[in-house]
């Protein structure tokens, strides 16, 4: 018999997080999250996402043993401003038993119907800056700290239970050694002169901080027309500043300004923390933080985390400036591979940015939808 219980206490929420550690214990491709970070993201007093969202966290038990978990989320900004009557589900992990999956999803449907939602979609987090999607291809590829990993049967469970694909995402990788800098160097100087642009580079996290608010404003403007987009709020900006900016090597943050000092483009690249997170195994102490610090300085793989370009500059070659700047720092740091995080399959403007690098699509993922 399967029993579903809402995780409310600190112990239950920790059980919610750590269930995945057992499920993927022997899997070389799953990247364990930091337990403390996961718990903080579920804390209504600490995560500003809860100012505009509600969430419930459910555990599935059989014979007093946890066999699955799921979060049911309603983002009220999305519901009220975009008129999308959607209940999200996320942080979904389960053993290979479709009955357990069915029982967990029934709690999501129940929560959605109680709040007059019309459909369920997931896996999704609270906002666009959270992890997204069920992995459908690339199960033999190393994950990243900003994506979910799952076994192949997740897709099968959802489709057998009547879910259909809502959105598809692609991830890709290209070798830095194959990048020819000459075209970017030439184009970069031309574009700078033509539009009066300049690159802003940083030597310390302290130098970055004054630009972060403008960066998120530009992020909102870049992606506002995408159907799934929910803007980052001012409170969330402060939260992400504290949570993530310190993890990024300042060399890997590039901003482009016009002659009036207006931000027209930005890119954030993160060192790959995958191997470090594997070694930390969910814990910062006693040695986890040391592995992360080493990765921040010495990782030879990098992850393109966020990129934003004002719509009016998206076809003006601004990326040549960005890639010219990154070539210099990647060369200095002996970078091997460049990894792209999930991008919507129909985001053609974004895909065109990378076409000259011959990227290889190594993973695909989807969100799934079911009408209530």
**Residue-by-residue DSSP string for 150-203:** --THHHHHHHHTT-EEEEEEEEEEEEGGG---HHHHHHHHHHHHHHT-EEE--S
Rounded-to-integer distance, Cα 260 and Cα 333, Å: 32
Same fold flag, 2-172 and 174-363? yes
* CB neighbours of residue 92 within 10 Å: 24
Q: Is the pLDDT of residue 261 over 70?
A: yes
Report which secondary-structure segment, H or E, holds 74: strand 65-75
User: In the predicted model, what is the mean pLDDT of residues 258-266?
Assistant: 91
Longest CA–CA span in the chain (Å) reads 69
- Read out DSSP for 192-235? HHHHT-EEE--SSHHHHHHHHHHHHHHHHHHHTTSTT--PPPHH
- 91 within 8 A of 132, measured Cβ to Cβ: no
Assess whether pLDDT exceeds 90 at residue 39: yes
Say if residue 146's pLDDT is above 80: yes
149-173 average pLDDT score: 97
Residue 99 vs residue 348, higher pLDDT: 99
Copy the structure tokens of residue 53. 């969202």
pLDDT higher than 80, residue 44: yes
Q: Which CATH architecture has domain 2-172?
A: 3-Layer(aba) Sandwich (3.40)
- Average pLDDT score, the chain: 91
Global pTM exceeds 0.85: yes
Taking Cα atoms as reference points, which of 83, 85, 88 lies closest to residue 71?
88
DSSP, res 324: H
| Per-residue confidence band for 242, with pLDDT thresholds at 50, 70 and 90 | confident
368, β-bridge pairs: 122, 165
CATH code of the region 174-363: 3.40.630.30
Q: Identify the pLDDT of residue 228.
A: 62
pLDDT of residue 165: 97
Q: Is 80 exceeded by the pLDDT of residue 38?
A: yes
Of 180, 178, 41, 158, which Cα lies nearest the Cα of 101?
158
Per-residue pLDDT band at 112 (split at 50, 70, 90)? very high
Question: pLDDT class for 286, splitting at 50, 70, 90?
Answer: confident
In which band, very low, low, confident or very high, does the pLDDT at 227 lie, cut at 50, 70 and 90?
low
Look at 96-105, 258-267, 305-314 and tell me which has the smallest mean pLDDT: 305-314
Rg of the chain over all Cα atoms, to the nearest angstrom: 21
**pLDDT on residue 226:** 67
pLDDT of residue 370: 98
With CA atoms as reference, report the closest residue to 326 among 189, 148, 198, 199: 199
- Within 92-152, where are the H helices? 98-114
243 confidence band (pLDDT: 50, 70, 90): confident
Q: Cα separation of 124 and 84, whole Å?
A: 14
Residue 34: the pLDDT is 94
Confidence of residue 5 (pLDDT cuts 50, 70, 90): very high
Q: Give the residue extent of every domain in the chain.
A: 2-172, 174-363
């Amino acid at each position: 018999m399967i029993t579903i219980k809402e995780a409310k206490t600190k112990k239950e929420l920790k059980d919610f997080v750590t269930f995945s550690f057992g499920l993927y214990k022997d899997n070389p491709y799953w990247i364990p999250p930091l337990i403390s970070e996961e718990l903080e993201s579920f804390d209504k007093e600490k995560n500003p996402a809860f100012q505009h969202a509600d969430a419930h966290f459910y555990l599935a038990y059989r014979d007093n043993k946890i066999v699955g978990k799921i979060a049911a989320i309603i983002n009220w900004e999305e519901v009220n401003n975009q008129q999308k009557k959607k209940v999200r589900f996320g942080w979904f992990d389960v053993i290979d038993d479709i009955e357990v999956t069915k029982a967990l999803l029934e709690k999501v449907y129940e929560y959605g119907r109680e709040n007059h939602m019309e459909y369920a979609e997931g896996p999704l987090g609270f906002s666009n800056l959270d992890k997204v999607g069920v992995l459908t291809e690339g199960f033999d590829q190393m994950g990243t700290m900003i994506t979910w990993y799952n076994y192949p049967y997740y897709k099968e469970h959802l489709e057998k239970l009547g879910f259909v694909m809502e959105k598809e995402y692609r991830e890709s990788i290209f070798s830095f050694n194959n990048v020819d800098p000459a075209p970017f160097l030439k184009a970069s100087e031309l574009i700078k002169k033509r539009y009066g642009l300049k690159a802003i580079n940083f030597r310390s996290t302290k130098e970055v901080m004054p630009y972060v608010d403008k960066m998120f404003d530009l992020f909102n403007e870049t992606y506002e027309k995408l159907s799934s987009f929910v803007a980052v709020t001012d409170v969330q900006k402060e939260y992400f500043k504290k949570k993530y900016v310190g993890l990024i090597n300042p060399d890997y943050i590039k901003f482009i300004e016009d002659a009036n000092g207006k931000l027209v483009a930005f890119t954030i690249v993160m060192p790959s923390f995958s191997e470090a997170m594997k070694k930390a195994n969910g814990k910062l102490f006693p040695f986890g933080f040391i592995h992360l610090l080493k990765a921040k300085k010495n990782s030879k793989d990098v992850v393109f985390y966020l990129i934003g370009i004002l719509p009016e500059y998206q076809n003006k070659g601004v990326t040549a400036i960005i890639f010219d700047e990154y070539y210099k720092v990647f060369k200095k740091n002996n970078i091997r591979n460049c990894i792209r995080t999930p991008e919507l399959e129909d985001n053609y403007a974004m895909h065109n940015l990378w076409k000259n690098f011959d990227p290889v699509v190594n993973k695909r993922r989807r969100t799934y939808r079911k009408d209530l």
